[in-house]
Amino acid sequence: MDLELLKKYAQVFWWGLTTARVDKYKKGDSILVRYDRAAMETAEVLQAMLLEQGMNPILRMSYTPTMERQFYELSSNKQLVFIPPGDEELFQNINGSISLIAPESLTHLAHIDSSKMGKAAVARKPFRDILDKREQDGAFGWTLGIVPTQELAKQAKLSLKAYTEQWIKACLLDHDDPAKEWQKLFNRATSLKAWLNGMDVDYYQVKSANTDLKVDPGEKRRWIGISGHNIPSFELFLSPDWRGTEGVYFANQPSFRSGNYVKDVRLEFSKGKVVKVTAKQGEDFVKKQVAMDKGAGRLGEFSLTDRTFSKIDKFMANTLFDENYGGKFGNCHVAIGASYADTYSGDAKELDADLKKKLGFNDSALHWDLVNTEKKTVTAHLKSGESLVIYKDGEFTGATAK
């Protein structure tokens, strides 16, 4: 790939990393760079950029498809939950993280019992909890992105050239100074989030041809998004009070997860929990994911993407892109599983496990985004008794949305 393009990408990652963290980085801070084998060239460029910024990059290559397949095929139960010495110390001390996703296979785990993957995920959840707490305290920031691969293009049914062109547009790499363009988008989103957060909402109602879902935002919540965490990211979202979720949600966008392809997932919620699951393809896998742990069948995120923000108009076979789909009608997506603590509107340092439970922030080893790109209307039912359409035909309705 063109070196100058990768240098631009590296600068966007630096913008994302510094924007996503509350406290400023200092010379000598440690940044973990996790990368897939196919992203090695990009990782090399990132290493140089981080060194020039005075950081200490720690580079770690992820499992290859063969390594990952062998891990699940050959591991005993004890090996599935084994934690290497030093991992906890690493996560307790790194100041930032950049993840480069460049899959060489999306289907190599399709034959693996999903309960094995669930067991391994649950064992590693404490590390995510460590990073979440450190992020709440302003001591850690993260961002991630993809590098186009032949496998991603194949599964998206695009040529590698067409896939790469979507990636370039979505990451704003077709601009001379893409980091400056991301800052402009960040500023635009800030006023829109202020509009959304200025409402005293009882619940949101999402309606499309196949979705009729009630979402309870909960107390002390705020809309966030376009914060540097994902490259690209055009969504605005909050983590609702899972206990108030009622109705039907339909994901017409396909999804790859842990080697499994699922399509047309329909989730029925009652009293905050998924009570019925159907899917045109991958139904058994979805049911096992929902049963991964106590919180896997509850709502962890509610998100909307304005089509005027996002240039993504193709299925990309990767959640990072697909959850930010713009297209003709934008998208709504929900995540079953873990919630995001940074959608808490109070002092993040006071948000401990007890307060999260009291406020209905969901907890799970799972976080799975399921996307609906149908024409839809989202109505905010205010505590005053009034109703306000906040999103229609792919766009936010507030004056600040433009």
| 160, pLDDT greater than 50 | yes
Using 50, 70 and 90 to split pLDDT, how confident is the model at 401? very low
pLDDT of residue 402: 45
The DSSP 8-state label assigned to residue 3 in this structure reads H
pLDDT of residue 24: 94
pLDDT of residue 69: 96
User: Encoding tokens for residue 280?
Assistant: 């045109």
What average pLDDT does range 193-221 have in this prediction?
A: 97
| 348, pLDDT greater than 90 | no
Q: In angstroms, rounded to a whole number, what is the distance separating the alpha carbons of residues 69 and 111?
A: 9
pLDDT of residue 399: 52
pLDDT of residue 307: 95
Q: Are 349 and 174 in contact, with CB atoms under 8 Å apart?
A: no
* Percent of the chain scoring above 70 in pLDDT: 99
| Greatest mean pLDDT among 114-123, 215-224, 392-401 | 215-224
Using 50, 70 and 90 to split pLDDT, how confident is the model at 6? very high
Q: For the chain, what's the residue count?
A: 402
Per-residue pLDDT tens digits for 43-102: 999 999 999 999 999 999 999 999 999 999 999 999 999 999 999 999 999 999 999 999
| 367, pLDDT greater than 60 | yes
In which order are the strands placed within the sheet that holds 96-101? 56-61, 30-35, 96-101, 141-146, 230-231
Per-residue pLDDT tens digits for 30-39: 999 999 999 9
Per-residue pLDDT tens digits for 305-329: 999 999 999 999 999 999 999 999 9
Query: DSSP assignment of 336-400, as one string?
Result: EE---GGGB-S-GGG--HHHHHHHT----S-EEEEEE-S-EEEEEEETTS-EEEEEETTEE-SGG
| 218, pLDDT greater than 90 | yes
Q: What's the chain's average pLDDT? A: 95
| 149, pLDDT greater than 60 | yes
pLDDT of residue 136: 86
| 400, pLDDT greater than 60 | no
Lowest-pLDDT range of 157-161, 209-213, 259-263, 368-372? 259-263
pLDDT of residue 362: 97
Q: In angstroms, rounded to a whole number, what is the distance separating the alpha carbons of residues 243 and 340?
A: 16
pLDDT of residue 1: 84
Instruction: Write the single-letter amino acid at 29.
Output: D
What average pLDDT does range 111-128 have in this prediction?
A: 92
